[in-house]
Amino acid sequence: MSSTIEPSPPRRVTLRTLEQMARRGEPFACLAAYDATLARWLDRAGVHVLLAGDSGAQLALGFERTIDMPLEVAIAFTAALRRGALNAMVIADMPFMSYQACQAEALRNAGRFMTEGLADAVKIEVDASFAPLVARMTRAGIPVCAHIGLRPQNVGLTGGYRAVGRTAEEAMALLADAKALEEAGAVLLLLEAVPDPVAAAIVEQSGVPVIGIGAGPAPHGQILVAHDLLGLSDTPPRFAEPAAQIGPAIRDAAAAWTRQVSARTLPTDAYTMPATELERFQHLRRTNPPRIAWPNQEQA
Ligand code: KIV
C-alpha cells in the first residue's frame, strides 16, 4: 500500500473563507476574467476569487472604455466564470449605469447577477454617497464589494486614470468612504490605485476583507486582470508585471498553423475509411459524376 497522502480536494471558496484568511493574515488571490475556459484554468491554479470585470468591455469586446460593457454581456460573462470554475468565489462587476440611475433598478440588476449570473457577490464602484444603496442591496441579501479609490467608470468626470488619496484630504475622504460603505453592509472593499500608506490605514480600520489593485502589499487580497498577468494585454498597468507571455505564444502558434495551411502540410490520416468502402466510393464517383461543380474562374 502506498504511503503517499493524497492532498485533500480544494473546497469552494466563500466569503467566510476570505474572512478567515484575512483574520489569519493569509493573503488571497483574485483575477478578473471573462470566459469559462480561462476560469477553469485559473480555478485549477487555486485562484481564490474570479471577477467578471467590466474591463472585459476592453479586453474581451474590444471597446475603448469600461463603460461600454453591456449589462446582458456582463451577466453572461459572470455565469461563464461560474460554469468554468469549480471552487473560486465569483464576483460580478456591475457595469456603468446598471446601478447609478435609481435604487430599484440597481437592486433588480444586482438580483439578475445573483440569479442569472450565478454570482456570489456583486461589485460596484462607489463612494460614501452610495452607502444607502449598499444598505438596500444588503437588506435584500446581496453581498456587495465596494470598489473605491480609482473608479474607472468615473474617468469621464475625473479626467483620467490617476491614483486617488495622494493628498492628506483625499486620503481622509477615502478612509471615510471605506468606513461608510462597510457600515452600510459592504462585505468586501476593493481599493484601486491608492498609495500604500492610505491602503494600509484602510486595512487597519476595516472589519471586512480588503482587496487591492495598485494599492501596495497591505490589503488582504490582491487582484489583477488575468490578461495583464498572462501577457495578453498590449498596455498592462505599471503594477501588473506579466508572469507569462501567452500573447506572443498564441501569435507564434497561430503563425505556425498559418504556414502549415499555406503549405498544405496538414496531417492527412486523421480519419480513414475501410479499403473496401474506399474502392466502392471511387467506383460510385466514376459512375455518378457530380452534376454541380464550382464554376471555373473564366465562367465566374
Ligand atoms: O474590471 C476589472 O477588471 C476591475 C479590476 C478591479 C480588476 O474592476
- With the most atoms of ligand 1 within 8 angstroms of its CB, the residue from 55, 59, 228, 239 to mutate is 55
Tell me, yes or no, whether 269 lies in a domain: no
Tell me, yes or no, whether 288 lies in a domain: no
Q: Which residue has the cell 503563425?
A: 255
CA of 93 to the centre of ligand 1 (A): 8
Between CA 209 and CA 189 the distance in angstroms is: 7
CA of 25 to the centre of ligand 1 (A): 23
pLDDT tens-digit profile of 80-123?
A: 999 999 999 999 999 999 999 999 999 999 999 999 999 999 99
pTM: 0.92
What pLDDT is recorded for position 296?
65
Q: Judge whether residue 297 has pLDDT over 80.
A: no
In ligand 1, the atom with minimum distance to the C-alpha of 123 is 8
Between CA 242 and CA 237 the distance in angstroms is: 10
Between CA 283 and CA 153 the distance in angstroms is: 67
For residue 110, what are the domain limits?
15-250
* Strand pairing category for 121-125 and 144-149: parallel
Protein residue with least CA distance to atom 5, ligand 1: 53
Rg (C-alpha) for the chain, rounded Å, is 25
Protein residue with least CA distance to atom 4, ligand 1: 53
What pLDDT is recorded for position 271?
87
Where does residue 139 rank: exposed (0-12), middle (13-18), buried (19+ CB within 10 A)?
Answer: exposed
Nearest to 126 by CA among 185, 168, 166, 79: 185
Between CA 72 and CA 93 the distance in angstroms is: 12
% of the chain with per-residue pLDDT over 90: 85
Beta bridge partners of 192: 149, 213
What pLDDT is recorded for position 293?
62
Tell me, yes or no, whether 234 lies in a domain: yes
In ligand 1, the atom with minimum distance to the C-alpha of 224 is 7
What is the total count of domains within the chain?
A: 1
CA of 102 to the centre of ligand 1 (A): 23
- Assess whether the C-beta atom of 125 lies below 6 angstroms from ligand 1: no
Q: Judge whether residue 279 has pLDDT over 60.
A: yes
What pLDDT is recorded for position 2?
47
Cell of 146: 465596494
Tell me, yes or no, whether 279 lies in a domain: no
Tell me, yes or no, whether 289 lies in a domain: no
Q: Which of 41-50, 67-76, 259-268 is the least confident region?
A: 259-268
Contact 221, 30 (CB under 8 A): yes
- Assess whether the C-beta atom of 182 lies below 6 angstroms from ligand 1: no
Between CA 34 and CA 233 the distance in angstroms is: 14
Contact 39, 85 (CB under 8 A): yes
* Strand pairing category for 49-52 and 89-93: parallel
Tell me, yes or no, whether 293 lies in a domain: no
- Assess whether the C-beta atom of 79 lies below 6 angstroms from ligand 1: no
Tell me, yes or no, whether 30 lies in a domain: yes
CA of 242 to the centre of ligand 1 (A): 16
Residue 42 belongs to domain with CATH number: 3.20.20.60
Between CA 223 and CA 50 the distance in angstroms is: 9
Helices 36-44, 71-84: crossing angle, 10 deg rounding: 40
Q: In the annotation, is 192 catalytic?
A: yes
Protein residue with least CA distance to atom 3, ligand 1: 53
Q: Which of 49-58, 66-75, 124-133, 232-241 is the least confident region?
A: 232-241
What pLDDT is recorded for position 9?
65
Give residue 286's identity as a one-letter amino acid code: R
- Assess whether the C-beta atom of 145 lies below 6 angstroms from ligand 1: no
- Assess whether the C-beta atom of 143 lies below 6 angstroms from ligand 1: no
Tell me, yes or no, whether 296 lies in a domain: no
Question: Going by C-beta distance under 8 Å and a sequence separation of 6 or more, which residues neighbour residue 232?
Answer: 59, 226, 246, 247, 250
Between CA 206 and CA 35 the distance in angstroms is: 32
